[in-house]
Amino acid sequence: MAREYENLLIDRVGTDGRIARVTLNRPEKMNALSQELLFEFRDALEDLEADDSARVLVVRGAGRTFSAGYDLTPAQRTGADAIVRAFRMSDEKGRRLWQGVRAGMQRITNIHMYFWNLQKITIAQVHGYAIAGGCELSMMADLVTCANDARFGHPGLRFAGTRTSMILPLLIGMRKAKELFYTGDNITGEEAARIGMANFSCPVEQLEERTLALAERIAILPADHLAMLKIHMNRFHENMGIYSSVHASTDLDAAGTFTSQSYTWSDKMREGGLKDALAWRDGPYADYRSAVSR
């Protein structure tokens, strides 16, 4: 019997139900990636990977956006306790330890890398925002489709680091990757498709139909053959160092929480809450006004 989830919707579409669709289902939070959601996402991937009838996996967001990033509120479910404990590791004076921050981040990175290496063809169907953690998650898919007015970016770079977005130099080249890293700026779906972050962009009202058409075309081949083809492609990029780069970036993301910029962010969060911290972070850039992200 299929599992039910609090933060995901799972359905099957296409010819003979060959396409499995996972919908991030926290629309009231702009599908922010809570630890509970990410644990459920991992569980859903494990179930679908073992299901030979699922040939292609589409990941999308409910409501008005794909995902506005990591949820910055504390985890509530015991399933995420290991990550919570890791982030709270401190010394006898109550100061956070890099080891604890890194341990928690690496656990989340491992979920992203499982998505990358899943023995299914995966498509991220992006509308609205795919920023911060949402951008990281979408970049781990085999293929990305998006609305023309979707927004990709990582404002979290303005106070910390990034993890799986470190694959951008493999996708779009060094110059543009550095520009996006040094500014935390976002780009439209049209530009994302033009520079290679996405396979195509289209008007939002056509996005689901065109994404399913692509998934249907891929799903003509059986799941085992598609898995073999995916391993062909992934090995090439893995030999260029994707695993070492992503895990090194996770280490640096953890280290980034101890910079002067990150300490100021923490002060703003403590003194005025998330809204004030985001205004301080993004105000000078005059963007991300309607998205809360990490």
> What would the mean pLDDT of 61-81 be, rounded to a whole number?
78
What CA–CA distance (Å, rounded) separates 37 from 270?
Answer: 25
pLDDT score of 85 more than 60: no
What CA–CA distance (Å, rounded) separates 137 from 112?
Answer: 7
Distance between terminal CA atoms of the chain? 35
> What would the mean pLDDT of 136-153 be, rounded to a whole number?
97
Phi-psi region of 293 (alpha: psi -120 to 50; beta: other; left: phi over 0): beta
Mean pLDDT of the chain: 90
Record the pTM. 0.91
Residue 101 confidence class, pLDDT cut points 50, 70, 90: confident
Residue 78 confidence class, pLDDT cut points 50, 70, 90: very low
* Lowest-confidence pick of 7-16, 25-34, 48-57, 163-172: 163-172
Instruction: Please report the pLDDT score of residue 244 as a whole number.
Output: 85
What CA–CA distance (Å, rounded) separates 274 from 276?
Answer: 6
Instruction: Please report the pLDDT score of residue 30 as a whole number.
Output: 96
Phi-psi region of 285 (alpha: psi -120 to 50; beta: other; left: phi over 0): alpha
What CA–CA distance (Å, rounded) separates 196 from 180?
Answer: 14
Residue 238 confidence class, pLDDT cut points 50, 70, 90: confident
Instruction: Please report the pLDDT score of residue 70 as a whole number.
Output: 93
pLDDT score of 43 more than 50: yes
Instruction: Please report the pLDDT score of residue 214 as a whole number.
Output: 98
Domains and CATH numbers, the chain: 8-285 (3.90.226.10)
> What would the mean pLDDT of 170-189 be, rounded to a whole number?
93
